[in-house]
A and B are shown apart, each in its own frame.
Chain A
Amino acid sequence: MTVHQISVFVENKSGTLVKVLDLLKDAGIQLIASTISDTVEYGIFRIICSEPMRAKAALDAAGVSSSMADVFAIALENYPGTAADAISFLSRAGIGISYLYSFMLSGKGILIFRTDNPEKTVEVIRMHGIATLDDASLLSLV
């Protein structure tokens, strides 16, 4: 139901993103999805990749500030309205979404997100029979 996401704490200045991407390239790690949230104060670069454990080790070895966490990953059919339905299940259950990003992979719409109530999120996903992904099943779609 969850996949490993790596969050890199990046400085808001040119060159820092390239440094991280080069590190992953040198380690032979493939990016599946990534997003940057940039506020005035912090830049956080979130990455879903082929081998999260090895990616984290490579970042640690280079002294790059990062953390790894489990985030929800669901796979939706590719027609209008599926995302709206899935999110409305969560919001009706009173669950808040901290952040969310989406992308298309092998004809599926993938949503990656974190919520303020993981236990309840699991319940809602199960109750509505939403298709979920883990590291292996996500990688198999690539």
Chain B
Amino acid sequence: MENPSFLHPQYESLSRAEIEALQTERLQKTLQQCMKSPFYRKRFEENHISPRDIRSLGDMSKIPFTTKQDLRDNYPFGLSTVPLSEVVRLHSSSGTTGKPTVILHTKRDIEQWADAVARCLYMVGLRPGDVFQNTSGYGMFTGGLGFQYGAERLGLLTVPAAAGNTKRQIKFITDFGTTAIHAIPSYAGRLYEVMSEMGIDPRRDTRLKTLVIGAEPHSEEQRRRIETMLGVKAYNSFGMSEMCGPGVAFECPEQNGMHIWEDYYIVEIVDPVTLEPVPDGEVGELVLTTVNREAMPLLRYRTRDLTRILPGDCPCGRHHKRLDRMKGRSDDMMILKGVNIFPIQIETILMQFPELGNEYLITLTNEDANDLMTVEVELKEFSDDYPKLQALTKEITRQLKDEILVTPQVRLVPKGSIPVTDGKAVRVRDLRKTLI
């Protein structure tokens, strides 16, 4: 009997051996395709390797890594493997932190991408008849069109609400009978806040049942909080524009790790310093190779996202590997007094305190070569009880110290005093000066 939650049983029911055979075959094709790009041809020549040297997945390590810098250096079309006349879509990163990057898609790439997103949405129970509201920015940001095409492919009534205007979003939710929403976690919290202000109870007054969350690191506690507030099941989504956009990996109804679609990607986890592979279960940097793309395949792309492969089988019946939720970025990692710290570790602790709100800010400073971390966190309900505030501060400090091994200075601050920027919240400020 076929699993009723498989949209693509021919791929979703593959065994490990079948997945690896398919990947080997598709990798060969991809390598041939890469030789049509000036960038990869030169990269292979410089490293004295040829596609013939890569006969199995075990030979992957012979392939040099591709980095975001490579995309920048070859902006805009240097990694293209097809004539521009075959390219139908281009997505570009904003380039706020440097030169922009570009990702190209053929007609087939767009279709395959839509299929991947449709597979994800089908997996978590969405069917024609569902109303899917997408609160991603549209335009260059792939979360907009990526979900739009996937949801339409599946036959959902798809509302391209785009980002912002929270009251209008809520009006859409109630007027159109929205059953599923895609939002970043902090925005899901914002929707609930504004609903409360408007006297709307999401459980009673809306048909919401499914929330797709991603793009912003968050903890399990935060997910559970959002689920309770909105009365939904929230599923984690992972994507990045370099890999198309959304639809790379997605949680199944088990809500325990995101299945990465291995008919599209070969997944490796490497130590971000030594670049050597780490065993399943250990945290490292996610490295992806696209094996189902025409216009711009990427080989061993360093995503900078930190995660691990969850060992063991998933009860859902899929053998596609599961990624744990993102632990942050290898370039987000703070080194404080020689200790590696990720913001998500701090968030996980803070979310365990019911007295605290969702917003926090980590500030790093240094005085006389001494690193200092200040954690400001919003107090949900203020009561003028100094000893209690002090005890709470002390307990937060103690638990943080246990987790990150350095003692931060914890400051409780009033609600609304931590700036929430549009889109991804700023969580870390590094104000340390170089002392040399």
Q: Do A and B bind each other?
A: yes
Contacts from A to B (Cβ < 8 Å):
5, 7, 9-11, 37, 41-42, 44, 46, 63-67, 69, 98-99
Q: Is B69 an interface residue (CB 8 A)?
A: no
A5 to B383, CA, bound (A): 12
B382 interface neighbour in A5, A37, A67, Cβ under 8 Å? A67
Number of A-B contacts (CB under 8 A): 38
Residues of B within 8 A of A66 (CB): 382
**Contact at B416–A63, with CB atoms within 8 Å?**
yes
> Which of B133-141, B294-302, B407-415 lines the interface with chain A?
B407-415
A-B residue pairs, 10 tightest by C-beta: A7-B384, A65-B414, A9-B382, A65-B382, A9-B414, A11-B417, A67-B383, A65-B415, A67-B384, A67-B382
**Contact at B386–A9, with CB atoms within 8 Å?**
no
In this complex, what residue of B is CB-closest to A46? B384
A41 to B392, CA, bound (A): 12
A63 to B193, CA, bound (A): 12
Q: How many residues of B contact A (CB 8 A)?
A: 15
**Contact at A11–B413, with CB atoms within 8 Å?**
yes
**What sequence of 0s and 1s flags, for each residue 361-395 of chain B, a beta carbon within 8 Å of any chain A beta carbon?**
00000000000000000010011101001100100
Residues of A within 8 A of B417 (CB): 11
A78 to B388, CA, bound (A): 36
A65 to B383, CA, bound (A): 9
Consensus secondary structure, chain A interface: strand
A69 to B384, CA, bound (A): 8
Q: Which of B383, B384, B414, B416 has the most CB of A within 10 A?
A: B384
Given contacts A9-B379, A65-B379, contact A98 B386 (CB under 8 A): yes
A7 to B389, CA, bound (A): 14
A46 to B385, CA, bound (A): 12
**Contact at B414–A64, with CB atoms within 8 Å?**
yes
- Distance in angstroms from B198 CB to nearest chain A CB is 15
**What sequence of 0s and 1s flags, for each residue 407-433 of chain B, a beta carbon within 8 Å of any chain A beta carbon?**
000011111110000000000000000
Residues of B within 8 A of A42 (CB): 386, 389, 411-412
Residues of A within 8 A of B379 (CB): 9, 65
A67 to B386, CA, bound (A): 13
In this complex, what residue of A is CB-closest to B410? A41
A44 interface neighbour in B384, B390, B413, Cβ under 8 Å? B384
- Distance in angstroms from B196 CB to nearest chain A CB is 13
**Contact at A11–B384, with CB atoms within 8 Å?**
no
B393 interface neighbour in A7, A41, A69, Cβ under 8 Å? A41
- Distance in angstroms from B251 CB to nearest chain A CB is 34
- Distance in angstroms from A118 CB to nearest chain B CB is 13
- Distance in angstroms from B415 CB to nearest chain A CB is 5
Q: Which of A11, A46, A63, A64 has the most CB of B within 10 A?
A: A11
A41 to B417, CA, bound (A): 14
A130 to B414, CA, bound (A): 37
A69 to B411, CA, bound (A): 23
- Distance in angstroms from A22 CB to nearest chain B CB is 16
Residues of B within 8 A of A69 (CB): 384
A63 to B416, CA, bound (A): 8
**Contact at B414–A11, with CB atoms within 8 Å?**
yes
